[in-house]
Amino acid sequence: IAAMHRVDVIYPPLIVIAAIALWMVVYESGVHATIAGVIVGLLTPARPIQTELEAEEIVDVLENRGDLRADEVRASARLIGGSVSACDRLIDAVHPWTSYLIVPVFALGNAGIELSGGAFTDPSDILVGVGFALVVGKLVGITAFSWIAVRLGLGRLPDGAGWPHIIGVGALAGIGFTVSLFITGLAFDSAALQDDAKIGVLAASVTAAVLGAVLIGVADRRRPDPVPDAERIGQAGTSS
């Protein structure tokens, strides 16, 4: 990976292949395979090959030409792509796979529990407590402390975001997979209690995901359309 960066070759599929090969070697050596991920993360360049100014110059040249050849387009695309770091490009390439496939499969595979209807028809106090803490506790806690921080002047809401968005984000924070499932093994010695807690985590994660998606979707629909810069400038000139 470092050698590819040295010769200005940043191609996410090659980095993924190298990462998989390293993971297999580390796994077969008996060392914990997560070390491979740490190594790949440290070796993946966080600085782009090209600067944004150089990329803008290439775009300006392309805009003033109408007789581009295919090889020139490919070369320009490669140079413009170099203005984005290998780290950002790799994250963009693997994010859908890690978020929607690998992490859920990993969480379910390592939960080690048997889901049955009895767990929900007669839920234990542990299951209810864990689920309530993730779904309600995260939503209320994040929203409340964000409101306090804004009121005290310690921060401000991001541009284009309102309190409905913060509430939605607080709900999404209730999604708990790897760390939450890991903590259950540290918090409870009884296997039965661990299973109840894990079921609570999984049920709360699904509930929080659906609730957060609905809240953010509603917040986006209620948000007014942004005023274009030209129109805003015109309104300011008229009012003055």
What does the domain layout of the chain look like in residue ranges?
A: 2-94, 112-222
- At 239, which amino acid appears? S
* Contact indicator for 16, 90 with CB cutoff of 8 Å: yes
* pLDDT (0 to 100) of residue 221: 82
* Contact indicator for 198, 181 with CB cutoff of 8 Å: yes
Q: 10 Å Cβ neighbour count for 98? A: 12
Q: Where is mean pLDDT largest: 17-21, 69-73, 74-78, 97-101?
A: 17-21
Of all residues in the chain, the percent with pLDDT exceeding 90 is 19
Task: State yes or no: pLDDT of 173 exceeds 60.
Answer: yes
* pLDDT (0 to 100) of residue 210: 94
* pLDDT (0 to 100) of residue 141: 95
User: Whose structure tokens read 């595979």?
Assistant: 109
Distance CA 177, CA 107 (A): 6
Residue 178 or residue 163, greater confidence: 163
| HEC assignment per residue over 31-78 | CCCHHHHHHHHHHCCCCCCCCHHHHHHHHHHHHCCCCCCHHHHHHHHH
* pLDDT (0 to 100) of residue 229: 46
CA count, 13 A, side-chain hemisphere, 219:
16
Closest by alpha carbon to 131, among 194, 178, 196?
Answer: 196
Stretch 184-199: mean pLDDT: 84
For 82-177, where are the alpha helices, taking DSSP H only? 86-97, 103-111, 118-121, 125-132, 138-151, 163-172
* pLDDT (0 to 100) of residue 149: 93
**Mean pLDDT across the chain:** 78
Least confident of 55-69, 89-103, 212-226: 55-69
- At 49, which amino acid appears? I
* pLDDT (0 to 100) of residue 239: 47
Stretch 205-221: mean pLDDT: 90
- Ramachandran region of residue 160, left (φ > 0), alpha (ψ -120 to 50) or beta? left
Distance CA 57, CA 55 (A): 5
